[in-house]
Amino acid sequence: MPDRAALQFVALKQAQRGSAGLNDVDRRHARRAAEIDARDCPLLYPDGIGQTSAITHVRGGDLPAIRAILGSKNIEAALVDLTRPDYELPVVTAIAPDLQLLPGHIETARLRRVLAATGGGHQWTRGVPLI
């Protein structure tokens, strides 16, 4: 589950310093990698994943189009254009109160609905936190 670079870093630290050289984050990465099989975890393959490609056609600076896409999913968002004129890279930040915050122990109404509908993810993660 953790990204490959994180696991390589954990392995390097462990090789150089032993298990005592690992911090809590390192241990969480190692535990997720050892105990969760990503191929068997439906949480990683959400329904409608193909729908996300709708955003790829939005051109930089087209905040109303992004807001409309989110709105079509009943997600209200405040969008702020952070693009700097000296760079040719469009940047936007979005604040969407209905989307789940990280860490996942804060339960929004939307998350409670999903948990009720799916039974939650503990059955797939065997009690290992994903984040």
Q: Does residue 50 surpass a pLDDT of 70?
A: no
Helices (H) and strands (E) in the chain, counts: 5, 2
Q: Tell me the mean pLDDT in the region 62-90.
A: 82
Name the band, by pLDDT with cuts 50, 70 and 90, for residue 20: very high
Q: How many other CB atoms are there within 10 angstroms of residue 1's CB atom?
A: 21
Q: How far apart are CA 12 and CA 16, in angstroms?
A: 6
Residues 79-95: tens digit of each pLDDT: 888 888 888 777 888 88
Predicted TM-score of the model (pTM): 0.46
Q: Where are the domains of the chain?
A: 49-118
| Measured distance CA(70)–CA(100) in Å, rounded | 14
How many Å apart are CA 97 and CA 100, to the nearest integer? Answer: 8
**Segment 102-111 mean pLDDT:** 73
